[in-house]
Amino acid sequence: MNRYLLIIAFQFIATYTFGQSTQIRQFNSEELSNTLSGGGVTLIDVRTPGEFANGHIADAGQLNYYAFDFKRKLLLLPRDQPVYLYCNTGYRSQRAAEILADNGYKQVYNLEHGIMEWDLYDLPVVVEPNARPDSENKMESDEYYALIQSGKPLLIDFYAPWCGPCRTMMPIIDSLKTEYMEQITIVKINADASKKLIKKLKIGSVPYLVLYVKNKIRYTHNGIIGGEELSEVLQIFVRL
């Protein structure tokens, strides 16, 4: 008898979990653009005020995902209306969407690849008068193409200051830069500060690593990678 009760309980949990996950719908930039053209949409940008000021989708509200009262303010949104969320890559907005779904919101939409994808589609953004564009580790296209002509192997780390995984990778990249300083050139490029270049290269998420050897791409990686694993990759090309 206990066995059957356990099976029923498992089925209930699985059904409930599935029901929760289906409350969040992933959508792309084209779908969002079409939806916004109809008006009357609750659209929330969950990035920081600085990110928002430097370029946001028109008519979007702003709630800072990193603010201590973010959840409280998020749950003030109307429960009987669809809520559309976005950030830079879709990570923070997905976490925000899960908070809403867990608290009974039934119509939650997440821009899966964030405003980085929106930019790739040349869709319009609003830049606030008080915007202060980030300039740290900025790179223009001409500088980039000159850089990859280097004779040494070249590892480029595309990152963004707001990106948690990027911050996790930074000490790893710094350590490898010291370890391989004689064999490999390692450069960081700030995706937020280098939007024209990011668009030209069609980079849709960070962290993103690319390794050039003799002006050709020999290795790429999206997301976090461990220091030992990345070091093993570099060793292969040092020996070439």
- What CATH code is carried by the domain that includes residue 7? 3.40.250.10
pLDDT tens digit string along 11-25? 444 444 444 445 799
Asked whether residue 6 falls in the same domain as residue 74, the answer is yes
The confidence score (pLDDT) of residue 240 equals 57
**98 and 145 fall within a common domain:** no
On whether residue 125 sits in a domain, the answer given is: no
Residue 220: strand pairing partners? 210
User: Is 132 inside any structural domain?
Assistant: no
pLDDT score of 9 more than 50? no
Distance CA 131, CA 188 (A): 23
If you average pLDDT over residues 28-35, what whole number do you get? 96
Instruction: Look at residue 17 in the predicted model and tell me its pLDDT.
Output: 42
> Do 108 and 155 belong to one domain?
no
Quick check: is 151 in a domain?
yes
| 105: pLDDT strictly greater than 80 | yes
- Whether 27 is in a domain gets the answer yes
Q: What is the pTM of this model?
A: 0.77
> How large is the average pLDDT for residues 147-156?
90
Active site members? 163, 166
Angle, alpha carbons 165-168-174 (nearest 5°): 125
Across 52-76, average pLDDT = 97
Residues 104 and 164 in one domain: no
184 found inside a domain = yes
State the residue range of the domain holding 183.
141-238
**Both tokens assigned to 66:** 């990193």
Domain tally, the chain: 2
Length of the chain: 240
Tell me: the pLDDT tens digits for 39-51?
Answer: 888 999 999 999 9
Residue with structure tokens 């608290």? Answer: 103
User: Within a domain: residue 12?
Assistant: yes
Contact 110, 93 (CB under 8 A): yes
Percent of the chain with pLDDT over 90: 75
Task: Looking at the structure, tell me whether residues 103 and 148 fall in a common domain.
Answer: no
CATH of residue 170's domain is 3.40.30.10
